[in-house]
């Protein structure tokens, strides 16, 4: 039931981090992968090369999910090169860590635009064809910050990630009747470049499992939501945080 042969998956922001781990895992289970990131970089090329080295299919498409026109081009090119996209993983995200008094309007807009508007921009284009085909999976990356509020005062990031949860539930209601499930994953502290050393250290005392997650431990939950293993699960948020929010 974890077999994704014949499915294609777009994973936004998958040149590195959780997105890359998800791209590799979904490819291992048979999915064709569209690797997306802001620009063509050696990291993006490496993700594609790793999938091809495993015998998988992958293409790289550069696009900024925060920009509506760029997301539209991403959709056109993805459908053109892969034929159909059955699984959409909205993983692209940024964090501009700061406390409220010091968050500039520019940073507020950037964090909301990538983390929340980016989800709208891709879903708007990729979900209708899934509804027409009668099968689809949307997996949105929220965060523990969207569940309980960031411990570090970043109200913009917490708002965006809480917004992703509301978006997920509303879209799940809209497209459930056409066989498209929509779920969110809310990671705690994961060892990637988005995480500062300071935040990682400060979080450890609050994690019952006593350690930071690996990107692969988030990817395995994404695989569950992408597959037929989760066929009756929609509109949910799965907390993957070592017990630090329960």
Q: What distance in Å separates the CA atoms of residue 24 and residue 4, rounded to the nearest whole number?
A: 13
Single residue of 11, 18, 111, 171 touching ligand NAD by CB under 6 A: 18
The interface with ligand NAD within residues 128-147 (CB under 6 A) comprises: 141, 143
Q: What distance in Å separates the CA atoms of residue 90 and residue 116, rounded to the nearest whole number?
A: 10
Could you tell me how many residues of this chain bind ligand NAD (CB under 6 A)? 28
CA angle 76, 131, 173 (to 5 degrees): 120
Q: What distance in Å separates the CA atoms of residue 199 and residue 231, rounded to the nearest whole number?
A: 36
Catalytic residue among 108, 120, 157, 225: 157
With respect to ligand NAD, which residue has the nearer C-beta, 81 or 134?
81
Q: What distance in Å separates the CA atoms of residue 29 and residue 49, rounded to the nearest whole number?
A: 16
Stretch that binds ligand NAD, among 47-55, 62-70, 100-108, 127-135 (CB under 6 A): 62-70
Residue 142 CB, shortest distance to ligand NAD, in Å, is 7
240 and 171 Cβ atoms separated by less than 8 Å: no
Please state the length of the chain.
Answer: 246
Respond yes or no: is residue 157 known to be catalytic: yes
Stretch that binds ligand NAD, among 3-11, 25-33, 64-72, 121-129 (CB under 6 A): 64-72
| Beta pairing partners, 152 | none
For ligand NAD, the binding residues (CB under 6 A) are 12-13, 15-19, 36-38, 64-66, 91-94, 114, 118, 141, 143, 187, 189-190, 192-195
């Amino acid at each position: 039931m974890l077999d994704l042969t014949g499915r294609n998956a777009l994973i936004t922001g998958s040149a590195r981090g959780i997105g890359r781990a998800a791209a590799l895992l979904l490819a291992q289970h048979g999915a064709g992968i569209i690797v997306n990131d802001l620009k063509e970089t050696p990291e993006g090329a490496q993700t594609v090369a790793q999938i091809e080295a495993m015998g998988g299919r992958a293409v790289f498409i550069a696009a900024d999910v925060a920009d509506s026109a760029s997301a539209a081009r991403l959709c056109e090119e993805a459908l053109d090169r892969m034929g159909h996209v059955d699984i959409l993983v909205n993983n692209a995200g940024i964090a501009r860590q700061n406390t409220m008094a010091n968050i500039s309007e520019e940073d507020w807009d950037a964090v909301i635009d990538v983390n929340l508007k980016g989800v709208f921009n891709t879903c708007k284009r990729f979900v209708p064809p899934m509804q027409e085909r009668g099968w689809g999976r949307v997996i949105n990356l929220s965060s523990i910050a969207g569940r309980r509020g960031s411990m570090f005062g970043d109200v913009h990031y917490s708002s965006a990630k809480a917004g992703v949860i509301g978006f997920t539930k509303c879209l799940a209601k809209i497209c459930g009747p056409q066989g498209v499930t929509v779920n969110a994953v809310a990671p705690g502290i994961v060892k990637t470049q988005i995480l500062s050393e300071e935040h990682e250290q400060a979080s450890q005392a609050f994690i019952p499992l006593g350690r930071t997650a690996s990107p692969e431990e988030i990817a395995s939950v994404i695989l569950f939501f992408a597959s037929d293993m989760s066929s009756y699960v929609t509109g949910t948020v799965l907390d993957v945080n070592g017990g630090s929010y329960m």
